[in-house]
């Protein structure tokens, strides 16, 4: 049975309405050991015959048999597999991959060998056999014509195909080199079928076993010159472990990536631009991701349970202390409103910092400046790293912060890089109580506080809003200071009348509040205080701290005219301890919530049922609730808008990358066609192209990741960009991966929409 048989083969070309016959009625049969020389005039159909035999061109008539099997039913994948198993092609214009070295070109045909060391060893043997050992590391672009042809022959030998097709292999070579190539072909074809198209039969007459002449697309003559050479003692074929398409694709992708360093660097830079674009866009819209996070009822602390009485009554401190012991809690906080309502926004040179109030010390002593609070007027700050520029790195630059109109001294700072988190203010327990009292009197939405000052021996009274009351730590205990031009004038007038008179002043505070019970019924309550005259002091505590501002703390006396005329019209200064007394007296009447703390959330959850059985409404602090529907709708719309902007950025970047990377397409078009002509499966080539783009993406992504680490660990930059979590970095990588896959898919479609023959003609190396 013949190795290859053509029966009435015909090939017809149709172009722009014109029909041309390539070959017609060809009947030929070939077997191993033959050296067939095919001659004929230019355009007679010689190359068409080889293209049909190789499967790079289809045939419209007849049948082609390979080892007795028909091929007329073959589809493109079948022809790819056919070329992989049976065909090695040697072209007149070499069709060597010029960006590959000699070694890489030969190894390309040895991808069926799984062991890379065995593959390398076999490639070196073949390169030495064709006399190119000294050029093994030279790229194809640096080789002479003869060296390129030797490389192609070594590549053909590497495939170990039973059929070698040579189309004018010496057409571009001088006579001496041509003779060397012919002798080499004769040597390597002893156990194979070699069909060689040539315009000079005299070159091969001494080694050809058969001469086929083509004229006008038909076989004019078929002359047997010598009997086919039978292989003598051919070694038994070795059973080699086959490699998978994925593994071969990865190997090919690595070779392609390394073969063109300048183009690979360009692609890496292109991917870097894309990654940077998505990184900055993701940072800009990252807040949208928090819109769908669980909304907790309270500020969550490990082991915290919030309680209130089911009947709506106020919880006394004695009752809370007894309950703490009875239920097995580790501690309690009677007035816990600052844990949930204390939010403080401060303006720093163009950005805001939000702070949470806490008296729960969960901070580590590592990586901190200073110490924890030891007095009522001291606080410890935990801040985003961006604040380091203002608060100091090695020492505290801003030593006072005003909270609830109280100037607290900053004695310690800790910085963290996740600027999506709120900063925290850790108070001393006494300082937290004072801040709570100040908050309850100064910021309560359902509380009205009025201050009335009666001027002694006068019918004139002054009324202050509690917004004009400022607490101070540096005042004498249980003292009040009145800063008012009207009050000063009244006192001076009084002393002009009687220099020895001792002014007596009454200050009355009245507070009223309203609340709603579990049934929505409103109730109100009022309370009044009278501050004794001996609480008054003539020591000016200094300029009151403006809300939401930082100030420099000082004990220096400030001129009274500047204090209340140029800065504040009038105000009432009150000592911090007295404010605490008044505030807690008010809270004892109105505040109905408290917190119990347990070892952890699990212990806290176990205690909730017991608390409920004792008549309390108990909720763990991490309990979530469903926000208002309108708020949810607005948040959803905002998130969708952010997502739209993010996707739009991805699309724009994809367009940009596709546009800029199209140059690389033409550079690889010819290479891909050569690989297809060698019978390398399309699947392997596709995987190789994807791997090439992935290799361009990985260093760009790693560089952007390293850049993000630098950004978020640099104070000034940390303040400019929202911190991205690992899942967001994974999202960036996934987005770029999908983008890269899409761009590569479009490029591959362009590469493979043509036949191999057409791609080879139009796919010259760039």
Is pLDDT of 592 > 70? yes
Give the per-residue pLDDT at 579. 87
Indicate if the pLDDT at residue 50 is higher than 70. yes
How far from 704 is each of 252, 277, 417, 722, 733, CA to CA, in Å? 27, 10, 17, 15, 10
Give the pLDDT band (50/70/90) at residue 551.
very low
Rounded CA separation 593/307 (Å): 6
How confident is the model over 701-741, as pLDDT tens digits?
999 999 999 999 999 888 888 888 888 888 888 888 888 88
pLDDT tens profile 280-324: 888 887 765 555 566 778 888 899 999 999 888 889 999 999 999
Residue 535 has pLDDT above 90, yes or no: no
> CB–CB of 181/149 below 8 Å?
yes
Asked whether the beta carbons of 437 and 584 are under 8 A apart, the reply is yes
* Cα gap 287→179, rounded to integer Å: 74
Please give the Cα distance from 69 to 66 (Å, whole number).
Answer: 5
Structure tokens at 218: 């038909």
Report how far apart, in Å, the C-alpha atoms of 655 and of each of 281, 500, 641, 661 are: 16, 90, 21, 10
pLDDT band per the 50, 70, 90 thresholds, residue 541: confident
pTM of the predicted model as reported, rounded to 2 decimal places: 0.70
Cα three-residue angle 119-165-221, rounded to 5 degrees: 160
pLDDT of residue 422: 84
Are the CB atoms for 375 and 428 separated by under 8 Å? Answer: yes
Name the pLDDT band for 561 (thresholds 50, 70, 90). Answer: very low
Report the alpha-carbon distance of residue 186 to residue 393 in Å, rounded.
80
Dihedral over Cα of 717, 722, 723, 728: its sign = negative
Identify the residue with better confidence: 241 or 562.
241
Burial grade of 38 (CB within 10 A; 0-12, 13-18, 19 or more): buried
Tell me the percentage of the chain whose pLDDT exceeds 90. Answer: 28
**Arithmetic mean of pLDDT, 454-477:** 75
Q: What angle do CA 287, 293, 298 make, to 5 degrees?
A: 110
Query: Is the pLDDT at 519 greater than 60, yes or no?
Result: no
Best CA proximity match to 512, nearest among 578, 462, 586, 437: 586
Q: How confident is the model at residue 504 (pLDDT cuts 50, 70, 90)?
A: low
Report which of residues 499 and 618 the model is more confident about.
618
The model's confidence at residue 746, banded by pLDDT at 50, 70 and 90, is confident
Most confident of 192-201, 363-372, 506-515: 192-201
Of 349-358, 460-469, 479-488, the range with the highest mean pLDDT is 479-488
By the 8 A CB rule, do 449 and 466 touch? yes
Dihedral over alpha carbons 416, 419, 425, 426 (to 10 degrees): -30
pLDDT at 742: 85
Tokens of 621: 């602090």
The DSSP annotation for 68-107 comes to TEE-TT--HHHHHHHHHHHEEEE-TT----TTSBHHHHHH
Of 276, 286, 267, the closest CA to residue 702 belongs to: 276
Q: Both tokens of residue 608? A: 């909730």
Closest among 257, 282, 273 to 701, alpha carbons compared: 273
Minimum mean pLDDT range among 97-101, 256-260, 276-280, 559-563: 559-563
Q: pLDDT category, 438, cuts 50, 70, 90?
A: confident
Strand order in the sheet with 616-620: 331-333, 593-597, 304-309, 616-620
In contact, 424 and 415? CB cutoff 8 Å = no
* Cα separation, 346 vs 383, whole angstroms: 12
Report the pLDDT value the prediction gives residue 10, as an integer from 0 to 100: 93
* Distance separating alpha carbons of residues 693 and 705, to the nearest angstrom: 18
Distances (CA, A) of 234 to 14, 124, 226, 354, 526: 45, 21, 21, 83, 113
Per-residue pLDDT for 239 more than 60?
no
Looking only at the bridges linking them, the beta strands covering 400-403 and 480-484 are unpaired
The SS3 call for residue 280 is: helix
pLDDT attached to residue 558:
33
What is residue 722's predicted lDDT score, i.e. its pLDDT? 86
Half-sphere exposure at residue 447, Cβ-oriented, CA atoms within 13 angstroms: 24
Q: Vertex 101, ends 97 and 102: CA angle to 5°?
A: 90
Phi, psi angle pair for 744, to nearest 5°: -65, -40
Enumerate the β-bridge partners of residue 574. Answer: 471, 480
Contact, 566 vs 425, CB < 8 A?
Answer: no
Q: In whole angstroms, give the CA distance from residue 66 to residue 83.
A: 11
Mean pLDDT for the chain? 82
What is the per-residue pLDDT across 622-671, written as a single tens digit (0 to 9) for each? 888 766 677 667 767 777 887 788 888 888 888 888 888 776 666 677 78
End-to-end CA distance of the chain: 45
Which residue did the predictor score with more confidence, 133 or 519? 133
Section 424-444 average pLDDT: 87
pLDDT at 401: 84
β-strand partners of 28: 6
3-state secondary structure 432-476: HHHHHHHHHHHCCCCEEEEEEEECCCCCCEEEEEHHHEEEECCCC
CA 495 to chain CA centroid, Å, is: 75
pLDDT score of 290 = 55
- In 3-state terms the chain splits into helix, strand, coil percentages (rounded to 5) of 45, 25, 30
Least confident range of 117-126, 185-194, 613-622: 185-194
Residue 587: band (very low, low, confident or very high) from pLDDT cuts 50, 70, 90:
confident
Cα-to-chain-centroid distance, residue 275: 8
Ordered DSSP codes for 215-258: ETTEEEEEEE-SPPPPPSSPPPPP--PPPPHHHHHHHHHHHHHH
pLDDT tens for each residue of 14-46: 776 678 888 999 999 999 889 999 999 988 899
Position 237 scores a pLDDT of 43
């Amino acid at each position: 049975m013949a190795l290859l048989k053509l029966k009435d083969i015909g090939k017809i070309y149709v172009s722009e309405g014109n029909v041309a016959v390539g070959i017609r009625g060809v009947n030929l049969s070939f077997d191993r050991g033959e050296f067939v020389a095919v001659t004929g005039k230019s355009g007679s159909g010689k190359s068409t015959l080889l293209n049909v035999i190789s499967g790079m061109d289809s045939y419209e008539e007849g049948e082609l048999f390979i080892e007795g099997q028909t091929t007329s039913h073959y589809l493109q994948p079948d022809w790819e597999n056919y070329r992989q198993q049976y065909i090695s092609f040697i072209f007149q214009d070499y069709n060597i991959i010029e960006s590959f070295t000699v070694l890489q070109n030969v190894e390309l045909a040895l991808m069926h060998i799984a062991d890379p060391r065995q593959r390398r060893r076999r490639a070196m043997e073949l390169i030495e056999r064709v006399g190119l050992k000294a050029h093994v590391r030279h790229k194809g672009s640096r080789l002479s014509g003869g060296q390129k042809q030797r490389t192609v022959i070594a590549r053909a030998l590497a495939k170990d195909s039973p059929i070698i097709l040579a189309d004018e292999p010496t057409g571009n070579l001088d006579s001496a080199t041509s003779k060397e190539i012919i002798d080499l072909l004769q040597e390597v074809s002893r156990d194979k079928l070699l069909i060689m198209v040539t315009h000079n039969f005299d070159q091969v007459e001494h080694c050809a076993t058969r001469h086929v002449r083509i004229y006008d697309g038909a076989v004019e003559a078929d002359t047997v010159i010598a009997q086919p050479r039978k292989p003598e003692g051919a070694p038994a074929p070795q059973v080699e472990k086959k490699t998978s398409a994925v593994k071969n694709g990865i190997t090919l992708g690595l070779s392609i990536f390394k073969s063109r360093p300048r183009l690979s660097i360009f692609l890496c830079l292109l991917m870097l631009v894309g990654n940077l674009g998505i990184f900055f866009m993701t940072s800009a819209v990252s807040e949208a991701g928090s819109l769908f996070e669980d909304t907790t009822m309270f500020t969550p602390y490990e082991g915290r349970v919030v309680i209130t009485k089911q009947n709506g009554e106020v919880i006394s401190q004695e009752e809370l202390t007894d309950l703490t012991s009875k239920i097995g809690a580790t501690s309690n906080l009677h007035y816990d409103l600052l844990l949930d309502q204390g939010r403080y926004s401060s303006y720093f040179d163009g950005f805001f910092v939000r702070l949470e109030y806490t008296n729960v010390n969960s901070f580590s002593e590592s990586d901190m400046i200073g110490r924890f609070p030891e007095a009522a007027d001291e606080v410890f700050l935990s801040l985003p790293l961006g604040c380091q520029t203002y608060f100091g790195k090695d020492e505290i630059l801003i030593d006072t912060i005003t909270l609830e109109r109280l100037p607290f001294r900053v004695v310690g700072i800790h910085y963290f890089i996740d600027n999506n988190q709120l900063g925290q203010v850790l108070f001393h327990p006494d300082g937290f109580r004072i801040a709570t009292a100040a908050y309850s009197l100064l910021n309560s939405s359902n509380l009205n506080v009025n201050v009335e000052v009666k001027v002694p021996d006068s019918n004139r009274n002054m009324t202050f809003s509690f917004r004009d009351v400022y607490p101070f730590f540096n005042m004498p205990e249980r003292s009040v200071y009145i800063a008012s031009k009207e009050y000063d004038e009244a006192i001076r007038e009084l002393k002009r009348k009687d220099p020895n008179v001792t002014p007596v002043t009454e200050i009355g505070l009245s507070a009223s509040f309203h609340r709603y019970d579990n049934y929505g019924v409103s109730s109100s309550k009022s309370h009044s205080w009278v501050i004794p005259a001996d609480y008054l002091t003539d020591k000016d505590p200094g300029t009151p701290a403006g809300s939401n501002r930082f100030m420099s703390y000082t004990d220096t006396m400030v001129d009274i005219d500047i204090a209340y005329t140029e800065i504040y019209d009038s105000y009432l200064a009150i000592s911090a301890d007295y404010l605490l007394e008044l505030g807690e007296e008010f809270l004892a009447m109105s505040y109905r919530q408290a917190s119990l703390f347990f070892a952890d959330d699990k212990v806290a959850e176990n205690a909730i049922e017991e608390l409920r059985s004792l008549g309390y409404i108990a909720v763990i602090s991490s309990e979530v609730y469903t926000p208002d529907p309108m708020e949810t709708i607005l948040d959803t719309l905002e998130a969708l808008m952010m997502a739209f902007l993010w996707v739009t950025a991805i699309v724009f970047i994809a367009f940009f990358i596709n546009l800029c990377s199209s140059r690389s397409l033409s550079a690889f078009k010819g290479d891909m066609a050569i690989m297809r002509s060698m019978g390398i499966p399309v699947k392997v080539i596709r995987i190789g192209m994807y791997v090439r783009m992935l290799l361009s993406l990985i260093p760009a992504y790693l560089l952007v990741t390293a850049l993000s680490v630098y950004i978020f660990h640099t104070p000034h930059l940390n303040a400019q960009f929202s911190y991205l979590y690992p899942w967001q970095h994974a999202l960036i990588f996934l987005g770029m991966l999908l983008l890269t896959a899409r761009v590569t898919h479009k490029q591959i479609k362009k590469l493979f929409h043509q036949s191999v023959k057409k791609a080879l003609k139009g796919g010259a190396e760039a």
